[in-house]
Amino acid sequence: MKNITQVINNNKYKIILGLIVGFYIVLFSHLSIRKYLTLQSHYFDLGIMNQVVYNTAHGRFLEMTNQDFLKNVSRFAIHFDPILALFAPLYLIYSGPETLLFAQAIILGLGAAAVYLIAGYFLKNKPVSLFFSVAYLLYFCVERANVFDFHGVTLGTTFILYMIYFSLVKKYRTAVVFMFLALLTKEHAGLITLFFGLYLFFVRKERKFSLLVCALSLIFFTATVNFVIPYFRQSSHFALKYFGDFGDSPGNIFLGITRNPLLVINIVSKPDVLTYLGRLVLANGIFMIFAPLEFLVSLPELAINVLSNNPNMKGLYFHYNALIVPFIFLSAIAGYRKITESRRLKKYRIIFFGAFIATTLLSAYLFNPLPLKFLKEPYFWAKIDANKLATIRQWQDILRDDSIKVSSTPELAPFFTGRSYYYNFLYDPSFSAYGISRDDIIKGLRNYEMADYVVIYKTGIDKSGKKSLPRRFYDDLTGNKRFQKIFGEENGIEVFKKND
C-alpha cells in the first residue's frame, strides 16, 4: 500500500494531467460530433475529409470529387495532406466523420502532454509545467480548430510539439518521426520545420541535426508546392491567388514580399491584422516578449496568414493557426525561464505568473467556444433532433451503395460523402468571405445534374430567404424535369431522383 501511495505521490502531476487530457478528449469529441449531428458542419471541410478517407479505405487512394472540375481527382490536386490516409484503416472499424472527429480530439489533447514535457525540460517545475499544459487546452486556437470539423494540419500542432521536445532532449530519431508526421499534414509545413532547423542551428547550436532538418524541410516544401500539387492539378496551387499583390508563383511571391517592404508594412499595420496578432498573443504575450526568437520560428505561417487576402486566415474560428500554436507555447515557456534566471526579474516571477493566469482566463472568456453562457462568444450548440437524424440515417442506408452519385445541400454533405462520387448542391456559407461573386457561384447551378439523387435540407433553404442563392438553386431543381421528388418533406428532408 505504501508503494502505491508513493507511486501516486511521485506521479501526481502526471496523473492530474492525464485526467485533464482525458476530460478534454471526451468533451471535445462530444462537442465536435454533436456539431456534425446537428447539421452545423458542411461540405467544406468535413464532407471533403470524409470522402477522401472513405475512398482511401476502399482502394481509391486520396480520391475526392472536385466541385470545380466536376470529376474525381487526387487530394494532392488541392493540398498535400497524405496524413489523411493513416485514418483509412479506422474506417474499416467504423466508417464516418465521427471517427475523424474522435481521433482529432485525442491527438490534439495529447499535445498537452508535449507542452508539459517541454515546460519540464526548461523549468524543472512540475506545478508550473502543469499549468502551461492546462493553458494549452484552454487556448482558443486549439479549441476552435478542434470544433471546426477535421483537418490534417490541425494534427500538426501536436506533431510539432513532440518534434520540439525530442529535439531538445536530443532524441533525434524520434524527433524526425514527428517532423515527418508534421510534414504530411500540409504542403507548407516544410517552411515551419525549416525555420525550426534554423533555430536549432543558431540558437540551440545543434549543428548536424539542424542541417538535416533544414535539408529535408526545403526538399519537401519545394517538391510539394512546385511539383506534386501542380502535377496532380495540372496548374499552379489554387491558393496562390490569395497573394496576387506579390506574384503568381511561390518564387515570385517570395521575391515580391522582399521587394515591396512598404506594401508589407501597409498590410501588417491594418486594423484586422493587428487585432489578429493581438488575439494570438494575448494569453502568452507576457512571457513571449522575453523569448521572441522561439515565436519567430512560426514566421512563415504568420506571413501566410497575414499577407493573404483571404480574411478567414486571420480569423479565430478555423484551423489556420495550427502550426503557430507550438511556437507560442515554446516562446512563453522559454520566456518564463528567462524571468526565473534573471536577477532583476526573478523576484517578480509570481507577479508575472499571476498575470499569465489572468490573461489565459481573459483569453478563454473572450474567444473560447465552450457551451458556457458566461463566455463572450460561446459556440451555438444546437440540440440533436432525433427524428431528423433518423430520417437522414434512413436515406444514408437507402443510398449506401457507394457507386450511387449523390448531391446534397452542404450541411448534409458529411452524411453522404462516404462514396466514390459526390456533388455539393450549394456553396457553403464560408465562401462568402472569399470574395466569390454571385455570378461565379451561379455558374455551378447545375452541378447537381451529375448526381443520381439530390438530398435537400429544406429547412435550411427556407431560413435563407426567398431571394437567396440557396432558394435560387432549389427553385432550379424543382423546375428541372430531369429530376422528380420521391421523398419529402419530412423532418426538413427532401429527396429528388434523376429520371432514367
Q: Say whether both 396 and 362 belong to one domain.
A: no
* Cβ-contact 152, 366 below 8 angstroms: no
Looking at residue 431, its pLDDT comes to 59
What does the alpha-carbon distance between residue 212 and residue 172 come to, in Å, rounded to a whole number? Answer: 10
Residue 52 phi, psi dihedral angles, 5° rounding: -60, -45
Burial pattern 123-150, b for ≥16 Cβ within 10 A else e, equals: bebbebbbbbbbbbbbbbbbbbbbbbbb
Q: Say whether both 286 and 315 belong to one domain.
A: yes
Is the dihedral angle over the CA atoms 190, 194, 200, 203 positive or is it negative? negative
Residue 31 lies in a domain: no
Q: What is the 3-state secondary structure (H, E, C) of the chain?
A: CHHHHHHHHHCHHHHHHHHHHHHHHHHHHHHHHHHHHCCCCCHHHHHHHHHHHHHHHCCCCCEEEECCCCEEEEHHHCCCCHHHHHHHHHHCCCCCHHHHHHHHHHHHHHHHHHHHHHHHHHHCCHHHHHHHHHHHHHCHHHHHHHHCCCCHHHHHHHHHHHHHHHHHCCCHHHHHHHHHHHHCCCCCHHHHHHHHHHHHHHCCCCHHHHHHHHHHHHHHHHHHHHHHHHHHHCCCCHHHHHHCCCCCCHHHHHHHHHHCHHHHHHHHCCHHHHHHHHHHHCCCHHHHCCCHHHHHCCHHHHHHHHHCCCHHHHCCCCCCCCCCHHHHHHHHHHHHHHHHHCCCCHHHHHHHHHHHHHHHHHHHHHHCCCCCCCCCCCCCCCCCCHHHHHHHHHHHHHCCCCCCCEEECHHHHHHHCCCCCEEECCCCHHHHHHCCCHHHHHCCCCHHHHCCEEEEEHHHHHHHCCCCHHHHHHHHHHCCCCEEEEEEEECCEEEEEECC
Is the dihedral angle over the CA atoms 363, 270, 325, 348 positive or is it negative? negative
End-to-end CA distance of the chain: 75
Residue 65 phi, psi dihedral angles, 5° rounding: -90, 115
Looking at residue 114, its pLDDT comes to 98
Range of the domain at 409: 386-498
Q: Say whether both 356 and 392 belong to one domain.
A: no
pLDDT tens track, the chain, 500 positions: 667 777 777 799 999 999 999 999 999 999 999 999 999 999 989 999 999 999 999 999 999 999 888 899 999 999 999 999 999 999 999 999 999 999 999 999 999 999 999 999 999 999 999 999 999 999 999 999 999 999 999 999 999 999 999 999 999 999 999 999 999 999 999 999 999 999 999 999 999 999 999 999 999 999 999 999 999 999 999 889 899 999 989 999 999 999 999 999 999 999 999 999 999 999 999 999 999 999 999 999 999 999 999 888 998 889 999 999 999 999 999 999 999 999 999 999 999 999 999 999 999 999 999 988 899 988 877 899 999 999 999 999 999 999 999 999 999 999 999 999 999 997 665 555 555 667 777 777 889 999 999 999 999 999 988 888 889 999 999 999 999 999 988 999 999 999 97
Residue 43 lies in a domain: no
Q: Say whether both 352 and 480 belong to one domain.
A: no
**How many beta carbons lie within 10 A of that of residue 491, not counting itself?**
17
Look at residues 483, 474, 469 and name the one whose alpha carbon lies nearest to residue 456: 474
Residue 307 lies in a domain: yes
Cis peptide bond prior to 489, omega within 30° of 0: yes
Hunting for cell 515591396 — which residue is that?
Answer: 260
Look at residues 97, 275, 16, 301 and name the one whose alpha carbon lies nearest to residue 186: 301
> How far is it between the farthest Cα atoms of the chain?
82
What does the alpha-carbon distance between residue 116 and residue 138 come to, in Å, rounded to a whole number? Answer: 14
Q: Say whether both 351 and 424 belong to one domain.
A: no
Q: List beta partners, residue 487.
A: 495
Looking at residue 275, its pLDDT comes to 96
Residue 143 phi, psi dihedral angles, 5° rounding: -70, -45
Q: Say whether both 359 and 394 belong to one domain.
A: no
Residue 56 lies in a domain: no
Residue 30 lies in a domain: no
Q: List beta partners, residue 64.
A: 73
Looking at residue 493, its pLDDT comes to 97
* Cβ-contact 51, 419 below 8 angstroms: yes
Burial pattern 399-436, b for ≥16 Cβ within 10 A else e, equals: beebebbbbbbbbbbbbbbbbbbbbbbbbbebbeeeee
Residue where one domain finishes, among candidates 334, 367, 400: 367
Residue 165 lies in a domain: yes
What does the alpha-carbon distance between residue 109 and residue 365 come to, in Å, rounded to a whole number? Answer: 20
Q: Say whether both 211 and 285 belong to one domain.
A: yes
Looking at residue 427, its pLDDT comes to 64
Instruction: Give the CA dihedral 335, 136, 178, 289, nearest 10 degrees.
Output: -20
* Structural domains counted in the chain: 2
> How many angstroms separate the Cα of 225 from the Cα of each of 167, 196, 219, 222?
26, 19, 10, 6
Q: Say whether both 122 and 228 belong to one domain.
A: yes
Q: Say whether both 340 and 213 belong to one domain.
A: yes
10 Cβ contact list (under 8 Å, min separation 6): none
Instruction: Give the CA dihedral 54, 59, 62, 67, nearest 10 degrees.
Output: -70
Residue where one domain finishes, among candidates 309, 338, 367: 367
Residue 378 lies in a domain: no
Q: Say whether both 221 and 286 belong to one domain.
A: yes
Residue where one domain finishes, among candidates 367, 402, 431: 367
Q: Say whether both 215 and 178 belong to one domain.
A: yes
What does the alpha-carbon distance between residue 341 and residue 335 come to, in Å, rounded to a whole number? Answer: 10
Q: Say whether both 356 and 395 belong to one domain.
A: no
User: In this structure, what C-alpha cell is assigned to residue 268?
Assistant: 501588417
Residue 489 lies in a domain: yes
